[in-house]
Amino acid sequence: MIDNPKTGMSLIVKTITRLTVGLILLFGIYIVLHGHLSPGGGFAGGVIIALSLVHLILAFGRDAKVSKISMNLASNLESLGALMFLSVALLGFLGGSFFLNVFKKGAPFKLFSSGTIPFSNIAISLKVGVGLFAIFLALIILEGTKRKK
């Protein structure tokens, strides 16, 4: 992988980023999925997932392919996350009441337990993660257009 010295940060930062950004993403997904067993859940996990993508852009500058994700895709994914959360809440109507926990609740302290809570965690983490990344993209696009002038 060629290191372009004109964009992004120094070589040391780029090397460390290549080694750790996948682990950060994996850690974020772990916090989301274990939201019903340990502290964390949708919000905190979503923020960590967004931060791993932001880390890529900060370290590699214009070369990072992630910065080519357009605002359209980010905004669509965000609305999709919100609609997923609303549909998980509407599933409770099948059981008789809004937001009821309708899936099977397995044995306590296992990963596949407590009904619909992991699904709401995943929906919230999608929305929060993509939302934060979209805010970051909007701010750097503004900076980019100003610099061109």
Partner 1 sequence: MKNPIFITYFVIIPLFAAFSIALIGKYVRRLYVDIASSVFCFLLLFFSFYSVAVLRNSANPAMVYNVGGWIPPFGICMVLDGLSSFMLVTVNLVAFFICIYSLSYMEKYTDKPKFFTLFFLMLAGMNGLIVTGDLFNLFVFLEIASIASYALVAFGTEAEELEASFKYAIMGSVASSFIFIGIAFLYGFTSTLNMADMARILSTKANIWVMPFVAVLFLMGFGLKAALVPFHAWLPDAHPSAPASISAMLSGVLIKTLGVYAMIRIFFNILGITDIYLSALMFLGGLSLITAVILALSQWDLKRLLAYHSISQIGYIFLGIGLGTPLGILGGLFHLFNHSVFKSLLFLNSGAIDYAINTRDLREMSGLKQKMPVTANTNLIASMSIAGIPPFNGFFSKLIIILACIQKGFLGYAVIAVIGSLLTLSSFMKVQKYAFLGELKEKYRHIKEVPLAMRLSMTGLAIICIFGGLMLLSDVKFFLDSAVNVLLEGRNYAQAVLEAALR
Partner 2 sequence: MTLYFLCLILFCIGLYGVLRKRNLVKIIVGLGIIEYSMNLFFVLLGYKMHGRAPIDAQNQDILNMVDPIPQALVLTSIVIGLGVTALLISIAIRIYDKYGTFDITKIKRLKG
Q: Which residues contact partner 2 (rule: CB under 8 A)?
A: 38-39, 43, 108-109, 128, 135, 138-139, 142, 146
Q: 8 vs 35, which CB is nearer to partner 1?
A: 35
Minimum distance, C-beta of residue 112 to partner 1, in the bound complex (Å): 21
Rounded to whole angstroms, the Cα distance separating 105 from 113 reads 5
Estimate to the nearest angstrom the gap between the alpha carbon of 48 and the chain centroid: 7
- Chosen from partner 2, partner 1, none, partner binding at 66 (C-beta under 5 to 8 Å by type): none
Q: 47 vs 66, which CB is nearer to partner 2?
A: 47
Q: 88 vs 124, which CB is nearer to partner 2?
A: 124
For residues 130 and 77, is the Cβ–Cβ distance under 8 A? yes
DSSP string spanning 66-130?
GGGS-HHHHHHHHHHHHHHHHHHHHHHHHHTSTT---S---STTSSS-STTHHHHHHHHHHHHHH
Q: What is the footprint of partner 1 within residues 78-137 (CB under 8 A)?
A: 79-80, 82-83, 86, 89-90, 92-93, 95-101
- Chosen from partner 2, partner 1, none, partner binding at 139 (C-beta under 5 to 8 Å by type): partner 2
